[in-house]
Amino acid sequence: MNFRHEWKIEINTADLLALRSRLKLLMEPDEHAAGGIYQIRSLYFDTPADRALREKIDGVNRREKFRIRYYNGDIGFLNLEKKSKLNGLCSKQAVQITTEQAQLIAEGGILQIRQNAPPLLQEFCYKVKTEGLQAKTVVDYTREPFVYRPGNVRITFDYGIRTGLGCTDFLNANLVTVPAGDATILMEVKWDAFFPDVIRDAIQLTGRRSFAFSKYAQCRIYG
């Protein structure tokens, strides 16, 4: 498991416009982002006692959460993902699953998987059985990604964060979502061991600092 550095910084519209113009000169757009952006929908899982949510709020040093995610409404390509945090560093593991598997998981069913199934899928199914992991909420948002190969730097701007409230019918294209509290524009900065000075300098903003933010936690404000 490879851990990466991560900053999350809340910015405003003026910041976004300035940063976007700078980064377009220095970084490349994500090759998978049509028109420079894509729409993300995730279904997050937690225990009946909301352990992942509570650990996030309490700032527990070592924590994890599971989600299923797809992009631009394409339910033909679904990833089961595990996001881990340790000592302020982050790591993500992912495995592709079928639409049928995703639907069964969202409905609280138990997958019957083969012994040679991907380890991440086995781990998730084990924790569904032993820890009671269950679907909690849908999270929608728009993402603008930029990449810089030296240092494996990735900078994204996320906005339009919306929640499905308690609804978990995340494969439904007509699912109604609502804004998750106050409008937030989030800049996420991720890199490996080396963070190039040219990018560090380009994203400097007066009065903006890295802080702990979770889209999942933000989207659980309604329950």
Chain segment 171-206, per-residue pLDDT in tens: 999 999 999 987 689 999 999 989 999 999 999 998
Among candidate residues 49, 69, 56, 212, the one with its CA nearest the CA of residue 131: 49
**86-128: per-residue pLDDT in tens?**
988 999 999 999 999 999 999 988 888 888 899 999 999 999 9
- pTM (2 d.p.): 0.93
Residue type, 60: V
- pLDDT band at residue 158 under the 50/70/90 scheme: very high
Give the percent of the chain with pLDDT over 70: 98
CA–CA gap between residue 95 and residue 68 (Å, rounded): 10
What pLDDT was estimated at residue 44? Answer: 97
One-letter amino acid at 158 equals D
Dihedral sign for Cα 31, 124, 215, 201, please: negative
- Rounded CA separation 92/38 (Å): 19
State the DSSP string of 138-152.
EEEEEEEEEEETGGG
Domains of the chain, each with CATH number or no CATH: 5-219 (3.20.100.30)
